[in-house]
Amino acid sequence: MSSPTQPAQYGFAERWLPRLVLAPSFLLTLIFIYGFITWNGYLSFTSSRLLPSFNWAGLTQYHALFALERWWVAVKNLFIFGGLFIGGAMAIGIALAILLDQKIRAEGALRTIYLYPMALSFIVTGTAWKWMLNPGLGLEKLMHDWGFTNFTFDWLVNSDMSIYTVVIAGLWQSSGFVMALFLAGLRGIDDSIIKAAQIDGASLPRIYWKIILPALRPVFFSTLMILSHIAIKSFDLVVALTGGGPGFASDVPATFMYAMAFTRGQMGLGAASATMMLMTVAAMVVPYLYSELRRSRNA
Amino acid sequence: MQTLRITLCAAAMTVAFAANAAEVEVLHWWTSGGEAKAAGELKKMLEAKGDKWKDFAVAGGAGENAMTALKTRVVSGNPPAAAQIKGPAIQEWGDEGVLTSLDDVAKADGWDKVLPGVVINTMKYKGHYVAAPVNVHRVNWLWVNPELLKKVGAKAPTTWDAFFKTAEALQKAGIQPVAYGGQPWQDATVFETVLLGVGGVDFYKKTLVNLDQGALKSATMVKVLETYKKIKPLTDKNSAGREWNLATSMVINGKAAMQFMGDWAKGEFLAAGKVPGKDFLCVAAPGTANAYTFNIDSFAMFKLSNKDAEKGQKDLASVLVSPQFQEIFNLNKGSIPVRLGADMSKFDECGKQSAKDFAADSKSGTLVPSFAHGMAVHSATQGAIYDVVSQFWNDDNMTAKAAAEKLAVAAKTM
């Protein structure tokens, strides 16, 4: 039991200790994230080539970037990949979660199986799928060996389709994770609401569509946030699976940025593309944060 | 963003290790079999001169990873003594103001007399030697499995007509004519070889060295592109992303008859115990017998703050160009010495042929820098043209005319 004078002493520590403990990480974040974001932004306005330089070049790098076909291919691929990856992972994840929620046998084992791909790194996923999708090594060869000689599946080496192989591998990796998030959400819903709806004569699909999924709104938002940042920064999966190829057909902005800044000696252009990526993320995250913060203030 | 941040972290960390010097630190990517052996010889020779060798080997990506490492070191103000840099990249680094002059070594060892003119030009920045050359690779080779050609009664083709005729015969006999690796640099390697064979030396210089807009859009270029694309049906579907040495092993194992590749491919044949002239043939690619696309490896030397290390750096430059090192290194690497009139008696048929052609083409002015291997234009332009060539190769809907227009646009990249 403490004497009445002690709280004042604790008060000093209580007030300063958290700040002292947080200071190093705060400082590091300030320098290594925000400081370098600013520096990158500055570099995008310079004529930097091999090494960073400080010759002001105005918007030249952005003009060059927007005139480059490869950049627009990368942007288009990001939208194809992002759209299909986020939409697909959500759809598959929700479907799996609902099916697993039907009080089935061996649910624990099934859940682990679906969640397991998440434990792999994208490099492993990419390499494994590269082998499976390679026409002379994987699926196509297997079908040929089984006698289906007309079967072709050459998306990996077809410049129009290679980005979709990235989608396939991405879905395989992330759907189980989405399933886990939604399963947790489903378990959190009060049974009595569902029972009440059943008494009112609502069918099962109707219950899911009108009651349960709307109640999972917060899960939707957090899943969307996680999946979209995975989509935008996707780099390792593309590098391992297609190497951005054939040619640059499956390039995404992250691989584009790396190629320009680090292998082609066009650091200014790379910095400009990195800034564009940051702006894309900001355009999605800022309105969301704004609405969330406003809601919590109003609450 | 992420990568940039990591790189900068790494840069900050290397500063901390900067104190330890007085050694000659050499950045290279000679990490595979014969190359590593060659690097070992260099170390021995340097130590014989009383210098300490500090290995800074960064493997992978045809030097891409090494370049990234080098940039962080230079940005942090702690460059290695020497780094494997070649072609116009030497000028790019010169523009950054970080290279040191080797004029005194060059004068003492008489580089002006023993090196060919084209090599000297590449090694100099604004009239001063800043780099030391180690070898010459020839890029426009065709590697042939003679046994497979014998099956269809053909000889190694010397013209494009003969090449496609032979290929057709091979295909009919159920043999894959061409082993191919579908990576951008390999696409570009085959493209420049076709361009040299179809367009000739002058056209090559106009397009891939001087980036002449008219020539890039010309009818000749369309013909070059069409010829290039005609090779695609001769390859297999799985070529996308294949490494060059895997393609070479297809020729070695008799799975494919021919491969377009530089003379580093020879190392793979020799390592498999094959004898040049008997088990495999090296011939100039069709239509390029009287031309030579060269790829010269060299070491650029950086300005150092430590005087002791500078002495080692000069010794290194001297050793690199010395006849002893040139011979032993190139025997291991598959290339030929860069010195004119070097003793070739220990080299094999392919090496002797390469040296003979190098000297002859040096006289006749038909020595051209390899575009695909960063000898002709700056990395940004090179990359932009790589993109078009790879896209054309992979996209079966793109016409040769459209590709030529795109090449002209890409050539404007500065």
**pLDDT 10s digits, B349-372:** 889 999 999 988 888 888 899 999
State the pLDDT confidence band at B148, using cuts at 50, 70 and 90: very high
A63-67, A268-272, B14-18, B324-328: segment of lowest average pLDDT: B14-18
Q: Write out pLDDT tens, residues B332-352.
A: 888 899 988 788 888 888 899
In this prediction, residues B285-310 reach a mean pLDDT of 89
| Cβ neighbour number for residue A32 with a 10 Å cutoff | 15
Is residue A170 in a domain?
yes
| Per-residue pLDDT at A2 | 47
Structure tokens at A20: 């002292």
| Per-residue pLDDT at A293 | 78
Whether A171 contacts A92, CB under 8 Å: yes
| Per-residue pLDDT at B3 | 47
* Closest residue, chain A, to B181 (C-alpha): A246
Minimal C-alpha gap between A78 and chain B (Å):
16
Residues of A in contact with B394 (CB under 8 A): 157, 159, 245-247, 249
A54 touches chain B (CB under 8 A): no
Is residue A227 in a domain?
yes
Cis peptide before A246 (omega within 30 of 0): yes
Tell me how far apart the alpha carbons of residues B46 and B35 are, in angstroms, rounded to a whole number: 17
DSSP B346-370: TS-HHHHHHHHHHHHHHHHT-EEE-
Tell me how far apart the alpha carbons of residues A138 and A140 are, in angstroms, rounded to a whole number: 6
Tell me how far apart the alpha carbons of residues A94 and A178 are, in angstroms, rounded to a whole number: 7
pLDDT > 70? residue B119: yes
User: What is the DSSP-derived secondary structure letter of residue B240?
Assistant: B
| Per-residue pLDDT at A158 | 80
Tell me how far apart the alpha carbons of residues A288 and A212 are, in angstroms, rounded to a whole number: 23
Mutate which: B238, B302, B385, B396, vs A, most A CBs within 10 A:
B238
Q: Which CATH class is domain B2-137+295-364?
A: alpha beta
Residue contact B7–A262, C-beta within 8 A: yes
Q: What percent of chain A has a predicted confidence (pLDDT) above 70?
A: 95
Tell me how far apart the alpha carbons of residues B395 and A160 are, in angstroms, rounded to a whole number: 8
Residue A212 domain boundaries = 68-298
| Per-residue pLDDT at B20 | 39
| Per-residue pLDDT at A85 | 95
Strand order from edge to edge, sheet including B176-178 = B176-178, B256-261, B141-144, B281-284
Is residue A7 in a domain?
no
Tell me how far apart the alpha carbons of residues A30 and A208 are, in angstroms, rounded to a whole number: 45
Residues of A in contact with B2 (CB under 8 A): 233, 235
Structure tokens at B369: 């820098």
pLDDT > 80? residue B202: yes
In this prediction, residues B21-31 reach a mean pLDDT of 78
Q: Write out pLDDT tens, residues B242-287.
A: 888 889 999 999 999 999 999 888 888 888 888 888 899 999 999 9
Tell me how far apart the alpha carbons of residues B260 and B273 are, in angstroms, rounded to a whole number: 20
Is residue A61 in a domain?
no
Residues of A in contact with B390 (CB under 8 A): 245-248
Structure tokens at B286: 């069709």
Q: Taking Cα atoms as reference points, which of B177, B148, B196, B405 lies closest to residue B294?
A: B196
Q: Which has more confidence, A248 or A45?
A: A45
Residue contact B237–A135, C-beta within 8 A: yes
Q: Taking Cα atoms as reference points, which of A209, A217, A276 lies closest to residue A41?
A: A276
pTM assigned to the model: 0.80
Q: Which CATH class is domain B141-293+370-410?
A: alpha beta
| Per-residue pLDDT at A297 | 66
Mean pLDDT of chain B: 86
pLDDT > 70? residue B22: no
A42 touches chain B (CB under 8 A): no
| Per-residue pLDDT at B18 | 38
| Counts of helices then strands in chain A (DSSP H, E) | 15, 0
| Per-residue pLDDT at B193 | 95
- Supply φ then ψ for residue B209, to 5 degrees: -105, -50
Structure tokens at A67: 């005139």
| Per-residue pLDDT at A1 | 45
| ipTM value for the complex | 0.70
Q: Where are the domains of chain B?
A: 2-137+295-364, 141-293+370-410
| Per-residue pLDDT at B344 | 86
Minimal C-alpha gap between A56 and chain B (Å):
16
Same fold, B2-137+295-364 and B141-293+370-410: yes
CATH number, domain of A257, equals 1.10.3720.10
A264 touches chain B (CB under 8 A): yes
Residues of A in contact with B7 (CB under 8 A): 262
| Per-residue pLDDT at B414 | 66
How many domains, chain A?
A: 1
Q: Write out pLDDT tens, residues A160-212.
A: 888 999 999 999 999 999 999 999 998 888 888 888 888 888 888 888 888 88
Residue contact B75–A52, C-beta within 8 A: yes
pLDDT > 60? residue A295: yes
* Most confidently predicted of B62-66, B83-87, B217-221: B217-221
Residue contact B380–A49, C-beta within 8 A: yes
Tell me how far apart the alpha carbons of residues A277 and A254 are, in angstroms, rounded to a whole number: 8
Region of residue B110 (phi > 0: left; psi between -120 and 50: alpha; otherwise: beta)? left
pLDDT > 70? residue A9: no
Out of B237, B379, B387, closest to residue A247 by CB: B387
